[in-house]
A and B are shown apart, each in its own frame.
Chain A
Amino acid sequence: MATIGTPTNISQGSRTKGGIGESTLRPDGILKVTGEFAYSSDMWHEDMLWGHTLRSTVAHAEIKSIDVSEALATSGVYAVLTYDDLPTEVKNYGLEIQDTPVLAHGKVRHHGEPVALVAADHPETARRAAAKIKIEYVELPVITDEASATAPDAILVHEGRDDHHIGHVPHPNIVHRQPIVRGNADEAAERADVIVKGEYTFGMQDQAFLGPESGLAVPSEDGGVELYVATQWLHSDLRQIAPVLGLPEEKIRMTLSGVGGAFGGREDLSMQIHACLLALRTGKPVKIVYNRFESFFGHVHRHPAKLYYEHGATKDGKLTHMKCRIVLDGGAYASASPAVVGNASSLSVGPYVVDDVDIEAIALYSNNPPCGAMRGFGAVQACFAYEAQMDKLAAKLGMDPVEFRRLNAMEQGSIMPTGQPVDSPAPVAELLRRVKARPLPPEQQWLSAGQEADVRALPGGLSNTTHGEGVVRGVGYAVGIKNVGFSEGFDDYSTARVRMEVVGGEPVATVHTAMAEVGQGGVTVHAQIARTELGVAQVTIQPADTQVGSAGSTSASRQTYVTGGAVKHTCENVREKVLEIGRRKFGSYHPAWATAELLLEGGKVVTDGGEVLADLVDVLEGESVDVELEWRHRPTEAFDLRTGQGNGHVQYSFAAHRAVVEVDTELGLVKVIELAVAQDVGKALNPLSVVGQIQGGTTQGLGVAVMEEIIVDPKTAKVRNPSFTDYLIPTILDTPTIPVDVLELADDHAPYGLRGIGEAPTLSSTPAVLAAIRNATGLELNRTPVRPEHLTGT
């Protein structure tokens, strides 16, 4: 009989049933297992049309002409729109720099750029009509790497760019640049007994969320539009949509519909404006659902990167200095590239103490697919490189790789390369100790006593490519550091509205935020927070929409911290108001109303000594409390554009991995046997969800280690593998056992001491797997993903 559950190490307990610290179940769980949960692609409206996007077949070209007449004449087609049909002078949008055209005008800058839109009565009609649109392109040379982008005669991807970054970059084809200089790396290098250099390549990863981009736009009677859509940040979408439509924001009512995963890929707009334009033009509801092929063109990817590193260390194992240069390819449009550069540079040293550093990170404009946010956001690429460097240094010094890391591990009070002190627990050495202390899985698991080899447990699996011959094992370690929340001075706030009243004889709390639930479990945690703060069993979570203030983005591991913080803060305010009502109604009956610290627990007002003063039903009878408040974490500041100094981050998150792999050296096939992880979460508000997030993040890191990559043809900048047949994500057969060890070292600055968790496990998973493959094969392996040809030298 198999064991149930993965052993974890999380403390349990909370004063209120269903409150924080308990593994309460998802409120949307029943709907999701019965197929009744309404995802954005499930929306339906009477008299609904289907929208379709025509996308460029070339990466870089001038558009000489577009002829839509034949498409428009197709039976069942209601509208065909191009750039000329946009209703206002605002024709671009963007997260930070408004450089992304709603529909291409004059030029296309990447393969798959939207050029025209069709609305028809059947999705196939729309697709076939779009195929009849005639576009005349004059192809231009493609910019695909740093050399072609910064060549003296390079064509500018964006002529006449006028954003605020232009003054700080050496070439207009560079979106942003962030140097960090601290101490004197050249001088410090002279103290080094060993120096290692490395060049690393990180492939383009895709978020590959399962639910494709989709949504429904419904024109409203006041000339506005209602939009039901899967997104990560409703208010950010709204801010970008309104100017293009020429409508005031209050005429665009956005409601979050079910989101099938996000991982950063829904931070940028996809079909939002397109569906609204078609709905406003036709006067009918319009639904757009991307298929998987289109989804690969419909969202930004993780920046592929080249990383050049130099580290030095003394013979007793202390790091002397670090120099690095990180070149991120941002593709055709800026998206989140400036912030990704800020993260990559400021986290490029990793969770180590190095006083003397010389760092530069840049992001390019190119004709490759646009890149932006993805889980780990710039820290992932750096972690891959600095962890390889740590192993190289340890090997050169003849030291154990974990011991070498622990000698240099940062801790609370350490100083970041940006000069910022780490002012909360940083248990880097302890996380490494924990993954190392875990017993190793038994050797040659494919053999069980007296039986034939179970090929399913071998590299190559059911393909039956080996029975164990040529299979070698390796073990590798890695640890990473990720910032939590939006950095560099961003006003990173959230809003919560909480109502408390008596419904059906029970005290009930209602929580309304605009937080995008993308699967991470925010809706579960918000109810837990309300139960803890308000002492009620019944908590209703209202659907997220723009009728309440912004919650910020469901990204950067920030939602439980920031929107959770907003819910907590608002509940505390509601609690005070409830107690005021109680004092007014019942204060004369007991002196504790005026003198004691009062709590709400189990539907009652109690003193901190446990004495019950009143039932909440009696306090709230005939009254209700309704509060909406914004909440902010500690402010951050921008990094100096020359030195990189500044208190840019609000909190850090740490995870460590140990990977155990087996490699068939004859065929170059890898099987990851186990991927153990230890992470500090500050406080596990919902242990079950915490473990799920850590395992999911770990698996995305595994994917980029051994299989995931969008392949872009370097000659044409065309995407070669936009499908789940050719872009591989880990299946259950590719994914090993993932034992999770959770630490709870509270961050005193955060609500409940919690630490954002979603991204950190994605960082160290990849380099741990690479380290294990290197350990098994003795190969250097400076690129990810590792492919069979890298292991067999073919």
Chain B
Amino acid sequence: MRVNFTVNGRQQEADDVWEGESLLYVLRERMGLPGSKNACEQGECGSCTVRLDGVPVCSCLVAAGQVEGREVVTVEGLADFARQRAEHGGCATGACGTTLDQAKRWEARPSDSQTGEGSALSPIQQAFIDAGAVQCGFCTPGLLVAADELLERNAEPSDADIREALSGNLCRCTGYEKILDAVRLAAARQEEAV
């Protein structure tokens, strides 16, 4: 089958998709976007977390056909997504999430796909690097998407809020302490910037 959907602000068309293929497989193997990771393909580890019309989902559990006509944001588009949210006012306080309209207003800008250079990192991406929250990095893309969504709806999360929001994302390297540090750091920088 053919699937038409938007990935990181660009219209995409995937042909010859087998009906059993997951969104994760289509992103990784057909779209050339391997940032979403394939760690359990069972919805248990969160490594493949993307946003589907603004909502964080495990892309391994979403059938490709389900995304027809919808908007997907992956870690590759996270920096632009965060930047455009900031420019459009976004949702600074309270739990509001991203509306479908907001998601559709967003478009990716070109960047160097090999190095990430040319596009500034989102606050949460920079905070993960600065806080030492990246080790092997395999869990990082999913955690970034989930943490960015948390900060979008809750600009000042407590530690318990962070733990609750990230409890669907497994990490085997860090012991999570530096991931907590990173989310706190991104939240603090966000507060300073306002």
Please list the residues of chain A having a beta carbon within 8 angstroms of any beta carbon in chain B.
Answer: 1-6, 23, 25-26, 28-39, 41-42, 44, 122, 124, 207-212, 258-263, 289, 291-292, 454, 456-457, 462, 518-521, 688-689, 691-692, 695-700, 723-725, 729-733, 735, 737-738
Contact = CB atoms under 8 A, between A and B. Distances in A.
B107 interface: no
Given A36-B113, A36-B114, A23 B132 contact: yes
B172 A33 contact: no
A487 to B, nearest CB: 25
Contacts of B42: 292, 723-725
B160 A260 contact: no
Nearest to B131: A5
Contacts of B78: 34
Contacts, number: 209
Given A4-B181, A5-B131, A210-B138, A34 B121 contact: yes
B167 A732 contact: yes
B159 interface: yes
24 contacts: A5-B181, A6-B177, A23-B132, A30-B121, A33-B126, A34-B75, A34-B116, A34-B125, A35-B33, A35-B35, A35-B76, A35-B141, A44-B32, A210-B39, A211-B138, A454-B160, A519-B138, A519-B173, A696-B173, A698-B175, A699-B174, A731-B170, A733-B163, A733-B167
A213 to B, nearest CB: 12
B164 A462 contact: yes
A5 B134 CA distance: 14
A456 B115 CA distance: 40
A25 B178 CA distance: 13
A4 B140 CA distance: 19
A522 B34 CA distance: 24
Nearest to B168: A731
A36 B35 contact: yes
A234 to B, nearest CB: 17
A289 B138 CA distance: 14
B110 interface: no
Interface string B137-176: 1111100100000000000101110111011111111111
A698 B175 CA distance: 7
B59 interface: no
A291 B24 CA distance: 13
Contacts of B159: 2
A209 B136 contact: yes
A35 B34 contact: yes
A292 B139 CA distance: 14
Contacts of B72: none
Interface of B: 18, 20-21, 28-29, 32-42, 44-45, 47, 74-76, 78-79, 113-117, 119, 121, 125-126, 128-132, 134-141, 144, 156, 158-160, 162-164, 166-181, 184-185, 188
Contact of A260 (B130, B138, B169): B138
A2 B158 contact: yes
B151 to A, nearest CB: 13
A699 B175 contact: yes
Nearest to A520: B135
A260 B42 CA distance: 18
B38 A731 contact: no
Contacts of A29: 128-129, 134
Contacts of A207: 172
A26 B173 contact: no
Contacts of B41: 291-292
Given A30-B115, A33-B134, A209-B136, 9 more contacts: A2-B158, A3-B184, A29-B128, A34-B79, A36-B116, A210-B47, A210-B170, A691-B178, A695-B177
Contacts of B167: 731-733
Contact of A39 (B131, B138, B171): B138
Contact of B34 (A28, A38, A518, A697): A38
A733 B167 CA distance: 6
Q: Is the interface of A mostly helix, strand, loop or mixed?
A: loop
A60 to B, nearest CB: 28
A413 B143 CA distance: 47
Contacts of B116: 30-31, 33-34, 36
A517 B28 CA distance: 23
A406 B15 CA distance: 68
Given A30-B115, A731-B167, A738-B175, A210 B37 contact: yes
A38 B76 CA distance: 13
Contacts of A737: 177
Given A4-B181, A691-B132, A210 B44 contact: no
A271 B29 CA distance: 20
B140 A32 contact: yes
B181 to A, nearest CB: 5
A703 to B, nearest CB: 9
A724 B131 CA distance: 27
- Top 5 closest pairs, chain A to chain B, by CB: A35-B35, A519-B136, A260-B138, A695-B175, A32-B137
Contacts of B76: 34-36
A88 to B, nearest CB: 33
Contacts of B125: 33-34
Nearest to B29: A44
A208 B164 contact: no
A39 B37 contact: yes
Contacts of B169: 731-732
Contact of B184 (A4, A39, A289): A4
Given A30-B129, A732-B169, A732-B179, A456 B163 contact: yes
B166 A41 contact: no
Contacts of B168: 731
A28 to B, nearest CB: 7
B111 to A, nearest CB: 8
Contacts of A258: 137
Contact of A695 (B114, B130, B178): B178
A34 B35 contact: yes
Contacts of A520: 135
Contacts of A212: 38-39
B128 to A, nearest CB: 5
Nearest to A699: B175
A518 B166 CA distance: 23
A28 B136 CA distance: 10
Given A210-B39, A732-B167, A737-B177, A26 B75 contact: no
A37 B75 CA distance: 12
B91 to A, nearest CB: 20
Nearest to A690: B132
Nearest to A37: B137
A690 to B, nearest CB: 10
Nearest to A287: B29
Contacts of B164: 456, 462, 733
Given A31-B116, A211-B37, A519 B177 contact: no
Contacts of B174: 692, 695-696, 699
A2 B79 CA distance: 25
A34 to B, nearest CB: 4
B184 A211 contact: no
B39 A211 contact: yes
Contacts of B20: 124
A2 B159 CA distance: 7
A208 B138 CA distance: 12
A735 B129 contact: no
B160 A208 contact: no
B166 to A, nearest CB: 5
Given A35-B76, A210-B45, A695-B178, A260 B170 contact: no
Given A209-B136, A462-B164, A738 B28 contact: no
B132 A35 contact: no
Contact of B172 (A32, A34, A208, A725): A208
A122 B115 CA distance: 29
B132 A724 contact: no
A6 B181 contact: yes
A735 B138 contact: no
Nearest to A694: B175
B35 A260 contact: no
Contact of B38 (A289, A454, A457, A462): A289
